[in-house]
Amino acid sequence: MSDLRHLRDDFPILATTMRGHPLVYLDSASTTQKPIQVIDAVSEYYKTLNANVHRGAYTLADEATTAYEGARRRIAGFIKAGSPAEVVFTRGTTSAINLVAYGWGLERLGEGDRILLTLMEHHSNVVPWQIIARHTGAELVYLSIDEDYRVDLTDLESALDERVKIVAVSGMSNVMGTIGPVQDLAAAAHAVGAVVVVDGAQMVPHLPTDVGDVGADFLAFGAHKMLGPTGIGALWGRPELLEEMEPAEGGGEMISDVQLYESRWAPVPHKFEAGTPPIAQAIGFGAAVEYLEKVGMEAVRSHEVEITGYALERLAEVPDLEVYGPRDLSERGGAVSFQLADIHAHDLATVLDEFGVAVRAGHHCAKPLMRHLAVPATARASFYVYNVEEDVDRLVEGLEEARRVFGLV
């Protein structure tokens, strides 16, 4: 972990204090902090390149377009896409999944068809499919979670048949840290002709990602969970599917011609990017990917395994604490959810805040999973490249104080 400690100097917010304590930020599964390199990239666009892209016949617009499309190329390279045209800019992971749901699912699903999900999905990979099912008459079916907090594949053979047209699965749980069995599900899905959609919001920032190896047909992910700005994300799709898919939004930029009663779409990926795009955010996204490439995703993963392992060891020392998620570090990421006795997660987070420790508390946009775990909410500590062992130690100190405050000692 000491190999990445020097990165903390790149994150200005880590120098701040909260309630008289140095900030310990443990909510990266919700949104990551931003290095100065990303902040500067966004600022420089507004100071030196501010112009609309793709449409201006002047130098500044050309330079803005070059920077914007350069970010697309870098992001495509980061996930080892075959071409930048396979990467569609969206508002984030949620809008990327919605784009597939409306652009692909709404056109192709009907009565008797099925959409296969898992109980560990974020609402972003549940609610769009509920809406599409309601419009088309398709049925939602779910794979459960086993006692080790992994997706239970016991019933896969009976659940996945020719009626299933879409399989939508998280690459990594934002609650339990569980790494989804994406490759296994993709192979089984393709065997029955189903399309595979992967929610990569947690996976792409934490694991080296090669879309060729993932096996998915669509992969959605967002910048703000990987050191980039909010309001920008990406959808990668297989080229032939993107060509077939309808745009979910219409307007400017996404057309090649508009007549009174019909229009022709612009080439992929632009047919999916209606209106003025989030130019500054895309450039910031590219800068975030450049930063992670310099760190090295193998190093990112190694650091996460080490600090998550240390966190699980220290949390095991806290009486009355239950941790949800795999113990095997090879099967999980850095999101660690827990419950301390019968203390509500919001109360626990309030006590931790008094120590400057920022954790998430609630259902984490995963209410079906919370019901499966039989808890109304959990507290969650989640780690990224800037976290160190001392952050974990402060978390444990805060938990011990919570035990005293609520009369557990």
The 3-state secondary structure of 132-149 reads HHHHHCCEEEEECECCCC
Q: Is residue 409 part of a domain?
A: no
Radius of gyration from C-alpha coordinates of the chain = 22
What pLDDT score does 3 carry?
A: 84
Q: What CATH number is attached to the domain comprising 369?
A: 3.90.1150.10
Q: Is residue 31 part of a domain?
A: no
Q: Is residue 249 part of a domain?
A: yes
Q: Are residues 14 and 151 located together in one domain of the fold?
A: no
Q: Is residue 80 part of a domain?
A: yes
> How many structural domains does the chain have?
2
Q: Between the CA atoms of 395, 330, 209 and 121, what dihedral angle is there, to the nearest 10 degrees?
A: -70
Q: Is residue 197 part of a domain?
A: yes
Q: Are residues 246 and 326 located together in one domain of the fold?
A: no
Of 293, 325, 349, which one is at a domain's C-terminal end?
293
Residue tagged active-site, from 245, 280, 365, 402: 365
List of residues 6+ apart from 130 with CB closer than 8 A = 140
Alpha helices in 192-296 (DSSP H): 203-206, 211-214, 239-244, 279-295
Q: Are residues 179 and 47 located together in one domain of the fold?
A: yes
Structure tokens at 111: 């009565």
Assess contact for 335 and 173: CB atoms under 8 A. Answer: yes
What angle, rounded to 10 degrees, do the helices at 59-78 and 279-295 form? 40
Of 258, 293, 328, which one is at a domain's C-terminal end?
293
Distance CA 101, CA 125 (A): 10
Q: Are residues 199 and 326 located together in one domain of the fold?
A: no
Q: Is residue 32 part of a domain?
A: no
Q: Is residue 34 part of a domain?
A: no
Q: Are residues 124 and 254 located together in one domain of the fold?
A: yes
Q: Are residues 303 and 380 located together in one domain of the fold?
A: yes
Q: Is residue 56 part of a domain?
A: yes
Q: Are residues 109 and 142 located together in one domain of the fold?
A: yes
Q: Are residues 126 and 249 located together in one domain of the fold?
A: yes
Q: Are residues 197 and 336 located together in one domain of the fold?
A: no
What pLDDT score does 2 carry?
A: 57
What pLDDT score does 55 carry?
A: 82
Q: Are residues 312 and 206 located together in one domain of the fold?
A: no
398, with CB counted inside 10 A (0-12, 13-18, 19+), is buried
- Average pLDDT, consecutive stretches of 10 residues, N- to C-terminus, the chain (409 residues): 87 95 97 98 98 93 97 98 98 98 96 98 98 98 97 94 98 98 97 98 98 97 98 98 95 94 96 97 98 97 97 98 97 97 97 96 97 96 98 98 94
Decide if 365 is catalytic. Answer: yes
Structure tokens at 160: 């996945």
Distance CA 53, CA 277 (A): 8
What pLDDT score does 227 carry?
A: 98
- Say which residue the tokens 């071409």 belong to: 83
Angle at 47 between CA 41 and CA 53, to 5 degrees: 80
Q: Are residues 103 and 216 located together in one domain of the fold?
A: yes
What is the domain range of residue 61?
39-293
Q: Are residues 263 and 317 located together in one domain of the fold?
A: no
Distances, alpha carbon 323 to alpha carbons 121, 260, 352, in Å: 19, 60, 17
Of 254, 277, 293, which one is at a domain's C-terminal end?
293
Q: What CATH number is attached to the domain comprising 254?
A: 3.40.640.10
pTM, two decimals, is 0.97
3-state class (DSSP) for residue 3: helix
